[in-house]
Amino acid sequence: MNAPPQSQRVWDLPTRLFHWSLVVLIGLQYATGEFHFLDMDWHFRFGYATLVLIAFRVLWGFFGSQTSRFADFVRGPGAVWRYLRESMSAHVPTRIGHNPLGGWSVLALLACVAVQAISGLFASDDIDTDGPLVAHVSGKTVKLMTRVHHWNENLLLVLIGLHIVAVLLYLLLKHDNLITPMFTGAKRVGAMRDLRFASSWLALVLVALCAALVATLVWWAA
Ligand code: HEM
Ligand code: HEM
């Protein structure tokens, strides 16, 4: 199959940096939490960085570039169903941005990572590792959040597995390479789409704001 003729910028730099930083951080979180690859202090530090990333991505979903905005890719069940039916046909044009089904998987992944990181703040191993907010809530809440942290780590693995399988199926069955654009930002398309891109400086300001919020929370908790 011939590659479509034109190259279009699809993903901005902040979204791509967000994605690959999240992948690295989640890997490090499992390595430290599950396999004790480093001290648990590092599990916490990577966890704070994950919280900053997630908070940034939520803001970027409202103030970021067009393809990263929730309004651009969160669609109702009708649109998802139409997309599924159309994608059975071999001649659907290459999508620019998240498709209606992928949009929901993005929300599910973001929500699941958020639940994992927030529950960690209240989790405890009852020996020597307490999340920073443990002292501020009841023992019952700590038990519940620790359970959530344990169950949700498995749900997150399932979602990540499905995500990777879906991306590979697009590549193998539909010859639609989604992976390269997540690195380079550009995709070969049949028809161009007019897109608005937000400034990377704005992203930097938002990341600094999120980092300040998380740092204040951790400082207050201590
Ligand atoms: C810890 C593992 C991972 C997590 C938590 C994760 C999460 C996400 C999230 C949240 C998005 C939405 C991006 C945005 O709009 O901000 C996304 C998109 C994407 N991810 Fe991942 N991802 C993971 C691993 C991977 C891996 C290993 C690959 C490559 C095989 C990959 C390929 C992609 C691609 C191609 C997209 C764009 C999909 C599209 O074109 O709609 N991801 N991922
Ligand atoms: C997305 C981010 C995170 C991931 C993927 C993650 C993953 C994990 C994993 C796999 C474990 C081992 C659980 C087990 O033994 O079954 C763990 C334990 C733990 N995590 Fe996280 N974690 C994250 C964020 C956080 C954060 C932000 C904090 C606190 C700042 C935190 C605090 C803890 C604590 C206190 C434990 C020990 C609980 C116990 O062993 O019962 N985690 N985490």
**pLDDT tens digit sequence for 65-95:** 999 999 999 999 999 999 988 887 766 777 8
* Domains and their CATH numbers in the chain: 10-221 (1.20.950.20)
Percent of the chain with pLDDT over 90: 83
Residue 11, number of CB atoms within 10 A of its CB = 23
Q: Which ligand is nearest to the CA of 183?
A: 1
pLDDT at 154 over 70: yes
Q: Is 44 in the pocket of ligand 2 (CB under 6 A)?
A: yes
pLDDT of residue 87: 82
Going by C-alpha positions, the residue among 194, 191, 165 that lies closest to residue 178 is 165
The reported pLDDT for the residue numbered 90 is 63
Q: What is the mean pLDDT of the chain?
A: 94
Residues 6+ apart with CB under 8 A from 135: 221
Give the distance from CA 118 to its chain's centroid. 15
Q: Output the CA–CA distances (angstroms, integers) from residue 50 to 43, 47, 73, 100, 111, in the order listed.
A: 10, 5, 23, 26, 12
d(CA 142, CA 123): 6
Residue 35's CB: how many other CB atoms inside 10 A? 8
Query: Where does ligand 1 bind, in terms of residues with CB under 6 Å?
Result: 15, 18-19, 22-23, 26, 57, 68, 98, 102, 106, 109-110, 113, 160, 163-164, 167, 178-179, 182
pLDDT at 6: 87
pLDDT in tens, 109-146: 999 999 999 999 999 998 989 999 999 999 999 999 99
Closest CA to 12 of 188, 214, 153, 181: 181
Asked whether 105 and 163 are in contact (CB, 8 A), the reply is yes
First to last CA, the chain: 59
Give residue 136's identity as a one-letter amino acid code.
Answer: H
Structure tokens at 204: 């930097």
